[in-house]
Amino acid sequence: MSGYLFVAGLETHVELQTKSKIFCACSTGFGAEPNTHCCPVCTGEPGSLPVINREVLAYAVRAGLATNCAISEITKMDRKNYVYPDLPKAYQISQFEAPVAVGGYITLDSGKKIRINHIHMEEDAGKLVHENGYTYVDYNRGGVPLIEIVSEPDIASVEEAREYVEKLQLIMRHIGVSDCKMQEGSMRCDVNISVHREGEPLGTRAEIKNMNSLSFMEKALSYEYRRQCELLDNGERVVQETRRYNENTQTTESMRNKEDAQDYRYFPEPDILAIRVGKEFVKKIAESLPKLPDELRKEFAGYGLSETEVKRLVEYKRIADFYSEAAALSEPKIAANLILGEIFRGMQTEEEKERFELKFDVKAFAKLVNLRAENKINAGIQKKVLQKMLESGGAPEDYLSADDLAEVDTGAIDKLCAEAIKSNERAVRDYLGGKEQALKALLGFVMKATRGKADSAAVEAKLKELICK
């Protein structure tokens, strides 16, 4: 099975975080009682008509700009006809001929670009609930706005597929259009995958539907790649079909083949006139875009942070924003250490990091970083103050006594060090005998005498210097 090239293209559905649905004023809120976020429009009552939500258009344009797409001057809605009980009109209002954004790309860490064919807007369907032998329909999700981001078949490995999805996720979160939670269904992926030998034309593709976690996607793609290679090695053909990933068997299985493929009978939605996307409208959105993850990564790497540190700081929008601002106001290395150390220790869950709720503002934080950077306080005091700020808010000066801040005279420290050595002969002997630990006693002496104000690293260095002289 070696020697086959992996070719995949992704269709990624992203649920937009607008307050109201795409064609009516109903709430998009998640988790309400079934069929309470509904009206004649989103349940498709006879005679009701859809009205496009301008906010959805704005979000879709935002997503398009953030993925380097061109925004269509005229965009149109189309009907995609199919019958399913969760689709109350028996058609989904989507886009076919003139999608809102076209021709973008996402850059992977390797520098490779995964091209985006287009992004289109559409409505979500309702949900079927199977219980006690009955099937119930909940239309709360019906009409929740989605965008579908359709890539070109540029993805050449399972790893690239994962990185592409992670990058998309991060971008959508940073620009605030979606929380992209695969487990909750606010992001879903369909993958088209085929294999072929170098120099030969593309193979027949299979589509794997609705993968709702990254690890499932990786497993499904690895399995499917193996399956297709084995078929070809055995002289068999890959058939064009739709498959699904079975979590229990960890394999993909056929859902329907090309012959049963749906004919969606797309045609222009007569209830919604073509939408002109004004240049001013697009310009305003472009101006309101925040720094994108790639830009933030570059900025943070420029501060000399490690790759892991950069990754952790960029992962959550609020943290990235906070750090970006703090770094500009203070010493970036110290600021990063405090966030990734002390502050992260109190935020164990995803949600906590996502919310990143602090009782103090970035200016107070920067001040604390600067006190340390300018050597006005030592690491221990800084840590104590930060703990107090995390618990009760406020600014560093609220927790620092005049004594804490008093300048420590270097001469005095030198004198104290000499004194410590003199009155602890035994410790000095031990240290010279190879016991590193023995130095702690001397350090403790000096720190106690300065009530913890002295810079312990500097004291340690001075002690060593004096002992070895």
Binding site for other proteins (CB under 8 A): 40, 43-52, 79, 81, 83, 85, 88-91, 135, 137, 263, 265-267, 270-273
Minimum CB–partner distance for residue 263 and other proteins (Å): 5
> Is 85 or 304 the residue whose CB approaches other proteins more closely?
85
Minimum CB–partner distance for residue 104 and other proteins (Å): 28
> Is 278 or 302 the residue whose CB approaches other proteins more closely?
278
> Is 81 or 212 the residue whose CB approaches other proteins more closely?
81
264-269 long-range Cβ contacts below 8 angstroms, 24+ apart: 264/80, 264/81, 264/82, 265/79, 265/81, 266/78, 266/79, 266/80, 266/81, 266/96, 266/97, 267/78, 267/79, 268/76, 268/77, 268/78, 268/79, 268/97, 269/50, 269/76, 269/77, 269/78, 269/79, 269/93
Minimum CB–partner distance for residue 210 and other proteins (Å): 20
Q: Kindly state the tokens that stand for 326.
A: 């703090």
Q: Which residue has the tokens 């420290």?
A: 413
Q: Convert 249-269 to b/e letters by CB count within 10 Å (16 or more is b).
A: eebbeeeeeeeeeeeeeeeeb
- For the chain, helix, strand, coil in percent to 5 are 40, 20, 40
* Coil, helix or strand at residue 404: helix
Minimum CB–partner distance for residue 339 and other proteins (Å): 47
> Is 129 or 457 the residue whose CB approaches other proteins more closely?
129
Beta bridge partners of 93: 79
> Is 52 or 386 the residue whose CB approaches other proteins more closely?
52
> Is 91 or 245 the residue whose CB approaches other proteins more closely?
91
**Angle, alpha carbons 276-279-282 (nearest 5°):** 95
> Is 40 or 304 the residue whose CB approaches other proteins more closely?
40
Minimum CB–partner distance for residue 167 and other proteins (Å): 35
Minimum CB–partner distance for residue 257 and other proteins (Å): 16
Residue 166: closest CA among 7, 311, 9: 311
Minimum CB–partner distance for residue 77 and other proteins (Å): 10
Minimum CB–partner distance for residue 190 and other proteins (Å): 20
Kindly report the number of other CB atoms within 10 A of residue 248's CB atom: 5
> Is 260 or 374 the residue whose CB approaches other proteins more closely?
260
> Is 40 or 393 the residue whose CB approaches other proteins more closely?
40
* Coil, helix or strand at residue 403: helix
Q: How far is C-alpha 418 from the geometric centre of its chain's CA atoms?
A: 54
Kindly report the number of other CB atoms within 10 A of residue 114's CB atom: 25
**Beta strands 91-94; 4-15: pairing state:** unpaired
> Is 135 or 250 the residue whose CB approaches other proteins more closely?
135
Output the CA torsion 377→380→384→387 (10° steps). Answer: 110
Distance CA 365, CA 370 (A): 9
Minimum CB–partner distance for residue 95 and other proteins (Å): 15
Minimum CB–partner distance for residue 49 and other proteins (Å): 5
CA atoms within 13 A on the CB side of 349: 4
